[in-house]
């Protein structure tokens, strides 16, 4: 019987443990904190709760548009945090639990950080755990910046420890996490500044999606500054002592370079959403002979590290860093560890979504990517301003874009900004996965009035573009 040891009890680790046990392996799972992983405990699940609270605040403010009279929106940050805690407990209970893992025969051990002794042995507290194969599913952690005063900043997971919501917040980093936190803070009443060294916000997204969100942010009173040279320092102001425990050490002065000059910004909190490197500190990768770079562990198509019996699925390899891909990679790594390298994990159809205002989502190639690789690609963009459901809901901001290959008559990508963008993109993902061509998609009779009807309209536009 193969002995498999898994480091980390998040989506990748629990999926790997259950699959390896199902295949007959003797499985040990080592977790430092609690089962569920960063996403459930202090990552995307709490952020989604905050996003829900932010949406409700916006809807209450807009209630008068439907003839409803309500009072001013009052924000009780302590009650929002209680809601976060309750939801995390409920989601944790709904996901793979210690009981489910134990029932599958997995030996779950919690409470210490694992460390390599050699390529087949891990130290876990006072125990030495030996294995034929090891899966590194420890995920990632927020990146702090090496600047003076970095300790005064708040990392995204530390937002949950605030006692109050700051009046003025600077968010550094405009990827999915930063953009979502910007929406949360702004919707709940904070004055928000968004800073990034990238030339535009949401650098991973389709250009039209990023542009739409930036215009929306500015219209909401959010200050957006991109293309900065970088942060130079964070300083505590002299009158900060009385409030420093409330929310990240404020009031603070944030210094950053832009265009060769230094700018100083006074805020009550600085949130650093500047990356998500693999959590490898203290793991002792060198003792196992594992090649690794800054914040990542390189893997091959079968998720093997430079040491063939050691695998690194999920955030550790920095390929996609999404819950759904981590679980898929965890299961694939388990299969490869038990049965041999037979299962790869191509992620061409990996949808992503962001709960900003407006929502964002995408799958497949962006228009920029498709244009670089395919001179026969065509696009169709349907504005929500002409969609009946969006008009009914007073949510006409945004669009759905489809990208297709004219020669092969296949959808290459889909991207959206606006209400229900994430759910709409999932429908397109299903069509792409089944090989549905634009002509067939154009004939689908979508329910009326729905946001998904934009899919049919965009497919019909593709046919006109391709004729």
Low-confidence stretches of the chain (pLDDT beneath 70): 1, 96, 239-250, 466-467
Predicted confidence (pLDDT) per residue in 236-290, tens digit:
997 655 444 465 566 999 999 988 899 999 999 999 999 888 899 999 999 999 9
Bridge partner list, 165: none
- Whether the bond into 132 is cis, omega within 30 of 0: no
Residue reference for tokens 């929500």: 384
Q: Report the distance separating Cα 292 and Cα 326, nearest Å.
A: 19
The answer to whether 92 and 79 are in contact (CB under 8 A) is no
In which element (H, E) is residue 86 found? helix 77-94
What pTM value is reported for the model?
0.92
Instruction: Name the token pair of 93.
Output: 């209970």
Strands 399-405 and 410-417: antiparallel
Please compute Rg for the chain using Cα positions: 24
Q: Residue 304 carries which DSSP code?
A: B
Q: What is the pLDDT of residue 245?
A: 47
Q: What is the pLDDT of residue 19?
A: 97
The answer to whether 135 and 330 are in contact (CB under 8 A) is yes
- C-alpha angle with apex 164: 159 to 170, nearest 5 degrees? 55
């Amino acid at each position: 019987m193969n002995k498999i040891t898994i480091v980390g009890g998040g989506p990748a680790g629990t999926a790997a443990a259950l699959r390896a046990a199902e295949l007959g392996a003797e499985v040990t799972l080592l977790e430092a904190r609690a089962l569920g992983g960063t996403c459930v405990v202090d990552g995307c699940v709490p952020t989604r709760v905050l996003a829900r609270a932010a949406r409700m605040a916006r809807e209450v403010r807009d209630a008068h548009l439907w003839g409803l009279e309500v009072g001013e929106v009052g924000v009780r940050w302590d009650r929002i945090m209680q809601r976060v805690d309750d939801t995390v407990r409920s989601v944790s209970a709904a996901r793979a639990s210690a009981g489910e893992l134990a029932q599958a025969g997995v030996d779950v051990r919690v409470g210490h950080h694992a460390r390599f002794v050699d390529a087949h042995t891990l130290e876990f507290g006072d125990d030495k755990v030996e294995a034929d194969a090891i899966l590194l599913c420890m995920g990632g952690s927020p990146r702090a910046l090496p600047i003076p005063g970095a300790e005064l900043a708040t990392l995204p997971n530390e937002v949950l420890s605030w006692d109050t919501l700051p009046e003025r917040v600077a968010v550094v980093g405009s990827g999915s996490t930063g953009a979502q936190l910007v929406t949360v803070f702004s919707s709940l009443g904070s004055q928000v500044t968004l800073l990034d060294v990238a030339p535009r916000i949401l650098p991973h997204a389709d250009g039209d999606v990023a542009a739409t969100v930036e215009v929306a942010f500015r219209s909401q009173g959010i200050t957006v500054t991109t293309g900065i040279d970088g942060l130079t320092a964070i300083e505590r102001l002299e009158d900060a002592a009385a409030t420093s425990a409330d929310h990240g050490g404020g009031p603070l002065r944030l210094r950053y370079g832009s265009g060769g000059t230094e700018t100083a910004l006074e805020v009550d909190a600085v949130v650093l959403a500047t990356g998500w490197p693999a959590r490898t500190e203290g793991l002792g990768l060198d003792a196992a002979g594992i090649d690794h770079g800054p914040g990542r562990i390189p893997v091959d198509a079968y998720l093997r590290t430079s040491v063939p019996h050691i695998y690194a699925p999920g955030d550790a390899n920095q390929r996609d860093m999404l819950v759904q891909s981590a679980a898929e990679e965890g299961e694939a790594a388990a299969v490869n560890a038990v049965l041999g390298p037979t299962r790869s994990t191509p992620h061409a159809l990996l949808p992503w979504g962001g709960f900003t205002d407006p929502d964002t989502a995408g799958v497949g190639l962006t228009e920029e990517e498709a244009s670089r690789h395919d001179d026969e690609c065509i696009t169709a963009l349907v504005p929500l301003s002409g969609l009946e459901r969006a008009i009914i809901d007073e949510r006409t901001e945004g669009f759905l874009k489809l990208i297709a290959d004219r020669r092969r008559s296949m959808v290459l990508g889909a991207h959206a900004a606006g209400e229900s963008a994430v759910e709409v993109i999932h429908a397109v993902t299903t069509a792409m996965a089944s090989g549905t061509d634009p002509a067939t998609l154009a004939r689908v009779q979508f329910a009326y009035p729905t946001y998904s009807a934009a899919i049919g309209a965009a497919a019909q536009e593709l046919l006109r573009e391709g004729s």
